[in-house]
Structure 1
Amino acid sequence: MERVTVGAVNGVPVDLAAISASENVFRLGFFLKTGREPSTPEEVEMIRGQLRAYQCNSIRGRVISAAEERERQRLGISVTRQEGIQDYQQRLRRGNVEKAAAAARAQANAVITALDEVAAGKDPREVYSRIVAPTGLELRHWEWIVLQAARDPTSRENIKKFAVIPGAIPADAAPGGWERNVALERVRKAVAEELAAQDPEFARFYRKREAGGSISEAQVRYVERKQIEWWQQRYREVNLVIYDEELARACSASIQSLLGLPVAEKTK
């Protein structure tokens, strides 16, 4: 597939494929709500609009990540791989993720087995009642899966991915996003401390809340507003350029309203 660059964030190219999702994802959402495929021009256009919104949110996420990374470097914050794994393991225990992962694996394996029976000529609804329903998957979801499996053989491979979801991270796991989560948490705390050093009122409200104390709704809003304003300024410092004029127009209002970031357009 040809690589299509639609913009850049701090000089790093943004490829169209990297910020997009399959249109089938949004068609699935429509099907689950209505029980049918989108058919009218208005419905098809709505699906395309959802895809465009996804692309805009992806660009926004890259801007946020660029600002966060700049602050991490400025503050000299680093996280070891082991610290990241330990933090993630704690989150797993708190959220009972291992149980959820086991349920997802069981459901995916049941679906794969059921699809094999459907491919062999068995009635999809009978197979659903016998194999899939006990896992908690709704009938309408199963019907969509059968439809997709008939239309796209690769959809089965996607289901297989859920059959191997790990319930925990082994000690020799490759580096992953959990290190970044720990670093980001430290960055945001460090930024809050900088704000506290500059704003006594912020310091009083913020530190009381961090210590487990109760603050008023107005005080919560004050703390959050100060943090949002600080980060929005950092977002404005990110150099975002969108080459694709249609994408720039579609995303400009969203980015400006959420981040206060002017979008530069550039014609190829």
Structure 2
Amino acid sequence: HGLYIQLVWAANRLNQGYYGWLAGKLDTIDFSDQTIEHPDPWQNAGTVALGYYFSELEPREVYHHTLGPDGFISTYQDLFGDPWTCQPLIPGSLRQPVMSLPFASGKTWSFTGGPHTGWGQGDPWAALDFAPPSLSGGCELTSEWAVATAPGVIARSEPGLVELDLDRDGDHRTGWVLLYLHLGTQDQIPAGSQVETGAKLGHPSCEGGESTGTHIHIARKYNGEWIPAAGVIPFNLGGWIAEAGSSEYQGHLIRFGEIVTASAVSEEKSLIRASSPTP
């Protein structure tokens, strides 16, 4: 498990640096000698993420060499080519495609988690949680279905996880992609399946990571970058707009003045009914 734990640590540090910079939460890099550095405001998030990562591994003098022209960038170019030929990941005009709620029309589920981490730990708060009706709570089997929020193709289908690719190129690294986490293995849709809005993808469960109760976790990516669940391009699910709370998992879904409030214990204020998709 040593390598796995190290990779998780590295991924979390890069994630925190990248999305912390984008969100304006990270403005200094701390070194082990108690000194700090303020990244240039014009730096891109990827560069700041690397600085944040290497600052926790190396003393300052080695850090500056690593981020210099003969350091990491030289190795990267030898392996992968020039990174500066890439276009911006997020165009300024980006808008979310039309999406519905992730459960069947006519069904009532609970909004159990407001904006929270999409993957791993920390930023960005890209995900929302929904749970089907339950008599006893906890990790119980359910016959309810999680469904496609939009047309697309299943780019990935692994234990507990499905990724719905809306541009249908089959590449989960490009365009709009919706992640579904905690889907049960039984009846889970296979990769390569073409789906329309409302298609059955799998049953909510506790599979695919830490979970205290049967539910699904959904999050959006565009060109591989997590899109915060609330903010400039909020989740819009059948007209329900996500709004973040003061801490993770808190928040609301709002539509035409109606407010649904996230509740981990499925209180009445968290109940939300899926209506028919707008043609």
TM-score (normalised: structure 1): 0.23
Name the structure with the higher helix share: 1
Tell which structure's C-alpha radius of gyration is larger: 1
TM-score (normalised: structure 2): 0.22
Name the structure with the higher strand share: 2
Higher relative contact order (CA 8 A, sep 6+): 1
